[in-house]
Amino acid sequence: MNQTTRDLPVVDALRLPEEIRALLRPDELLADRAGRQHRLPRFFYEVRSWSQAKELLLTPHVRLSELLIVDSREAPRLLEDFPHYVPCAVSLLARIIEDLRAKVGAPVFVAANGGYRSPAHRLSVHASPHLWAAAADIYRVGDTWLNTQSSVEKYGTLARELLPDVNVLPFGHQPGETDDHLHLALGYLRAVPAGCDERGSELNSGNPGATLPALLAPSPFESASAQTS
């Protein structure tokens, strides 16, 4: 039977080893092209091997590996070594790709570096929803290459019919435009699966070397209830 995200551990990246934290920069602010600040993801799926990524179905047709393909512009540790880490929003991104596939009745192809890429990737100069695993660069749908204004606009419109809040970049050759793919994005989506605990962010943000001693002790609320029960 195929694996799903339910088979992947969810990790709090603030608790990962320093070497990984320095690359993923969980909960740090990063500016977009216009100077607006966005907080990077904190909770990630842990992927233990490339074969697991290839076998794992995010939705009936979208495999995790399709959204993880990067080239040598990614940090070597995140490109070559496992485990890999991918923000939990990736499952919602897959859902919109799956729905687009169903709507058009044809496979949807995501470009290399066009799914999740880390803040350490050399294309990650500015904040982009790709760093949140909340954007996909689609270069082909069925037999249609998305390298013309009409094809980019056609599939952008179809994606917005599925979800009006989907952001698509306009066709063009300038920064913030695309001429060889459709950039489809859900925004700076921070997914926090049920069961995750968001305490401790304030201790670590801006200080990657900090530890989280407060999380190692029971919270005051737990202590109080233990005394009174």
- Residues lying near Zn ion in the complex (CB under 5 A) are found at 137, 183
If the CB atoms of residues 52 and 124 are measured against Zn ion, the closer one turns out to be 124
Residues 114 and 199: their CA atoms lie apart, in Å, by 32
Q: How far is the CB of 129 from Zn ion (least distance, A)?
A: 8
Q: Smaller CB distance to Zn ion: residue 174 or 207?
A: 174
Least distance (Å) between residue 115 CB and Zn ion: 9
Q: Where are the alpha helices (DSSP H) in the chain?
A: 18-24, 50-55, 76-80, 90-104, 149-162, 201-204, 213-216, 220-228
Q: Per the structure block, which two tokens stand in for 104?
A: 């058009």
Smaller CB separation from Zn ion, 123 or 212: 123
Q: Are 102 and 156 in contact (CB under 8 A)?
A: no
DSSP strand pairing (167-168 vs 182-185)? antiparallel
Greatest CA separation for the chain: 68
Nearest to 50 by CA among 3, 84, 75: 84
Give the shortest CB-141-to-Zn ion separation in angstroms. Answer: 16
Cis amide bond preceding 175, omega within 30: no
Cβ-closest residue to Zn ion?
183
Q: Give the shortest CB-212-to-Zn ion separation in angstroms.
A: 33
Question: Which C-beta is closer to Zn ion: that of 114 or that of 200?
Answer: 114
Cβ closer to Zn ion: 101 or 183? 183
Q: How far is the CB of 66 from Zn ion (least distance, A)?
A: 15
Q: Of 120 and 135, which has the nearer Cβ to Zn ion?
A: 135
Q: Which helix (H) or strand (E) holds 213?
A: helix 213-216
Structure tokens at 23: 């690359």
Q: How far is the CB of 125 from Zn ion (least distance, A)?
A: 13
**For the purposes of burial, counting CB atoms within 10 Å of the CB of 9, is it exposed (0-12), middle (13-18) or buried (19 or more)?**
exposed
- 44/139 with CB nearer Zn ion: 139
Residue in the structure block whose two tokens are 């320095």: 22
CB of 73 to Zn ion, least distance (A): 14
Q: SS in 3 state form for 92-109?
A: HHHHHHHHHHHHHCCCEE
